[in-house]
Amino acid sequence: MRLSSPAFEHNAFIPVKFTCQGESVNPGLIIEGIPPGTKSLALIMDDPDAASGDFVHWVVYDISVTGRIEENSIPGKQGINSSGGSDYAGPCPPSGAHRYIFKVYALDKMLNLEEGLRKPDLEKAIGSHILDKAELIGLYKKK
């Protein structure tokens, strides 16, 4: 599988629009090579460079199988991010450039779980159901 975005290249800077200094909306994502038998997708976006360890920006699951997640959309059930909310939380590093990793998972089932899962709970739920996964890394440093 391959994950890309029309808004930025892999390992390149995320445009301000998609950050706390802009509109803080999710960028569009393109998912290619989804394996046969995929019943749903899950998505996690996090910042492994946060001072507190891993800062989770977005958790989405029970996404219908699609090759595209639209900009400024809610493609499935949303979990809880590290800010305590459920919406996409745009990159907002306190200092320096951070990496923001978008991870998409092709799953062999629809999870049918309630909204509001946290990243560790979602990772546990998808563990034995992952058919494939892909990552896209974006960078951001406040202006």
Each residue of 108-130: pLDDT tens digit? 999 999 999 999 999 999 999 99
* The pairing of beta strand 68-69 with beta strand 29-32: antiparallel
- What percent of the chain clears pLDDT 90, i.e. is strictly above it? 97
| Domain edges within the chain | 2-140
Indicate the pairing of strand 130-140 with strand 12-13.
Answer: parallel
- Chain segment 38-82, per-residue pLDDT in tens: 999 999 999 999 998 899 999 999 999 999 999 999 999 999 999
The stretch 128-143 carries a mean pLDDT of 97
CA distance to 14, 16, 79, per residue, from 24 (Å)? 11, 8, 17
CATH, domain 2-140, list 3.90.280.10, 3.40.50.720, 3.90.650.10, 2.40.50.140: 3.90.280.10
What residues contact residue 128 under an 8 Å CB cut-off, 6+ apart?
none
Predicted TM-score of the model (pTM) = 0.97
Q: Tell me, what's the pLDDT at 52? A: 85
DSSP string, 9-36: -TTEEPPGGGSTTTT--PPPEEEE-PPT
Q: How many CB atoms lie within 10 A of CB 96?
A: 9
Confidence at residue 143, expressed as pLDDT on a 0 to 100 scale:
86
> What are the backbone angles phi and psi of residue 46, rounded to the nearest 5°?
-145, 170
In this structure, the number of other CB atoms found within 10 A of the CB of residue 19 comes to: 23
Looking at residue 101, its pLDDT comes to 98
